[in-house]
């Protein structure tokens, strides 16, 4: 794809902005002055904690060649070394640019939502499509009111495919986002009991909110739904009510349009046989987990509807690896041996906790090594919070997990439900738990860390990686040389 993302004139016109001077072409879009690259346009968005207008100078110093600023902040910026584009509201300017990007694009586009598995499905779909043509998708979970327009505004005009993740924790959030994306294919991975704090009517309300994604599907587009979900029929009806005639299913049922035929799950990969519409494909997924297998069926079904090659996409799944915070594995050097760290720290729900526990159960230990679960609170679960935490005892016991180390007020309920032999340590905070865990890991262990973002489990992962960094492998001088 081309390095020139926007000509300066098209950039300004897309936002209906007012430039203070003529500027160069734009090669990237940034809303964070710390990560600005040379040639970027910096959008001075007002966030919850910071106002981007304070960092326009820093962005220019890091290589930004233009900044987008609000009219009511212009006077306070002083003399700038780069051109400015003045708009009424910077976030709305970014959204306008996103709509302009979508309007000029000829890409075939997919949008992914669901209670769990959004990011891994987006990553899988982006990965397999990239093997078939220029493909655009976000490098992280840019799925909210600023992440979606940011990803859209970064979409090159010559992209053949694009994949967008759309999230929500309140009703009404998806509708304006999918109106910007206007996908040809909409995927809902599943509907589960997450964000219950904001949905007093439970999973029925969550299903209706997720179904908002259908409102933006392009005419003639398709909806791809989990046929094994209890919410399938409800979602299918909502899709048809939105004018989508092409409603497809994935799962294990006989009538599924993408059907799992056979599965061999290993500790670090899965071998799959599946029928995608009328095509039988056999493939390997280069990361473990039943949830990845299930969502790979949706991915291959989407490829078929986006005009890609299903067999080629299935073959590309072998090169998949789990992303940071969602199953990425790391080797830890402990004593004279190694341990394995499974990083699931990005987020957590009852369903994703169970999936991660299953992955831990399948992991290989060495010697006297143990399978250790390090779990933090699951947030936004409403009145059932303590019950849902306590219920994790059953899958932990069934999986044969050796030790559980728990952090957070809600995890107290799980601690009290665990058998004594499984209790490692409980702490009110992840920071308190960290010091205990560092002293108790041993060679041969496999440790999995998971919790909601607010439970602060990710720093535990980083500390483990730093404390137990393997020594670099010394190279053989005889093999060194230019490559």
Answer yes or no: is 249 a known binding residue: no
Residue-level length of the chain = 483
- Cα separation of 435 and 102, whole Å? 49
Distance set, CA 144 to CA 113, 168, 463 (Å): 11, 7, 29
Binding residue per annotation — 481? no
Beta bridge partners of 328: 343
In the sheet that holds 258-265, the strands lie side by side as 135-137, 161-165, 108-113, 185-188, 222-226, 246-251, 258-265, 270-276, 279-285
φ and ψ at residue 91, rounded to 5 degrees: -65, -40
Strands 161-165 and 108-113: parallel
**Alpha-carbon 20 to chain mean position:** 38
Q: How many CA atoms lie within 13 A of 131 on its CB side?
A: 19
Torsion-angle region of 177 (φ positive above 0: left; ψ -120 to 50: alpha; else: beta)? alpha
Residue 187's DSSP bridge partners are: 112, 224
Instruction: List Cβ neighbours of 17 (8 Å cut-off, separation of 6 or more).
Output: 68, 85, 86, 87, 93
User: DSSP alpha helices (H): ranges in 182-326?
Assistant: 203-210, 232-241, 290-305, 310-316
116 known member of a binding site: yes
Closest residue by Cα to residue 193 from 403, 47, 330, 388:
388
Residues 6-44 as b or e (16 or more Cβ within 10 Å = b): bebebbbebbebebbeebebbbbbbbbbeebeebbbbbb
115: annotated binding-site residue?
yes
CB-based burial of residue 256 (10 Å sphere; 0-12 exposed, 13-18 middle, 19+ buried)? buried
Residue among 338, 325, 337 at smallest CA distance from 376: 325
Give the DSSP H or E segment for 177: helix 174-181
> Is 120 annotated to bind ligand?
yes
Ramachandran region, residue 444 (left: φ > 0; alpha: ψ -120 to 50; beta: rest): left
Measured in degrees and rounded to the nearest 5, phi and psi for residue 148 equal -65, -50
Q: What residues are designated binding site?
A: 114-120
Would you list which residues are annotated within the binding site for ATP?
114-120
């Amino acid at each position: 794809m081309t390095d020139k993302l926007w000509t300066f004139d098209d950039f300004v016109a897309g936002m209906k902005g007012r430039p203070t001077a003529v500027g160069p072409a734009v090669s990237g879009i940034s809303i964070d002055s710390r990560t600005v690259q040379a040639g970027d346009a910096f959008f001075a968005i007002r966030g919850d904690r910071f106002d981007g207008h304070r960092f326009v100078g820093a962005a220019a110093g890091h290589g930004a060649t233009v900044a987008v600023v609000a009219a009511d902040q212009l006077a306070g910026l002083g003399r700038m070394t780069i051109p400015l584009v003045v708009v009424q509201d910077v976030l709305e300017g970014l959204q306008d640019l996103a709509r302009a990007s979508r309007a000029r694009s000829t890409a075939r586009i997919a949008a992914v939502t669901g209670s769990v598995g959004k990011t891994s499905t987006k990553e899988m779909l982006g990965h397999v499509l990239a093997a078939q043509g220029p493909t655009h998708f976000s490098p992280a979970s840019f799925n909210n009111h600023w992440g979606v327009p940011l990803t859209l505004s970064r979409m090159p005009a010559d992209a053949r495919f694009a994949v967008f993740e759309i999230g929500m924790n309140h009703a009404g959030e998806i509708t304006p986002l999918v109106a910007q994306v206007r996908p040809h294919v909409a995927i809902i991975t599943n509907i589960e009991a997450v964000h219950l704090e904001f949905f007093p009517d439970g999973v029925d309300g969550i299903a209706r909110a997720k179904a908002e994604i259908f409102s933006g599907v392009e005419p003639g587009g398709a909806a791809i739904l989990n046929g094994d979900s209890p919410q399938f029929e409800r979602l299918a009806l909502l899709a048809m009510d939105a004018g989508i005639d092409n409603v497809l299913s994935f799962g294990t049922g006989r009538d599924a349009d993408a059907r799992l035929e056979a599965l061999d799950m290993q500790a670090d990969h899965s071998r799959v046989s599946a029928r995608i519409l009328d095509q039988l494909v056999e493939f390997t997924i280069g990361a473990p987990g039943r949830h990845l297998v299930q969502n790979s069926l949706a991915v291959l079904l989407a490829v078929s509807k986006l005009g890609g090659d299903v067999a080629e996409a299935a073959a590309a799944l072998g090169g998949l690896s789990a992303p940071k915070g969602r199953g990425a594995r790391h080797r830890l050097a402990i004593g004279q041996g190694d341990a394995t760290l499974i990083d699931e720290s990005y987020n957590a729900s009852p369903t994703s906790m169970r999936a991660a526990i299953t992955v831990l159960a399948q992991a290989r230990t060495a010697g006297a090594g143990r399978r250790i679960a390090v779990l933090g609170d699951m947030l936004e679960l409403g009145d059932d919070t303590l019950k849902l935490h306590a219920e994790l005892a059953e899958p932990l016991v069934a999986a044969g997990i050796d030790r559980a180390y728990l952090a957070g007020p809600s995890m107290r309920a799980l601690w009290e439900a665990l058998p004594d032999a499984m209790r490692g340590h409980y702490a009110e905070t992840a920071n308190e738990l960290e010091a205990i865990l560092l002293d108790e890991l041993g060679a041969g262990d496999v440790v999995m860390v998971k919790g909601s973002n607010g439970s602060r489990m990710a720093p535990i992962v980083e500390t483990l990686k730093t404390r137990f960094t393997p020594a670099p492998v010394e190279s053989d001088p005889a093999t060194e040389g230019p490559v």
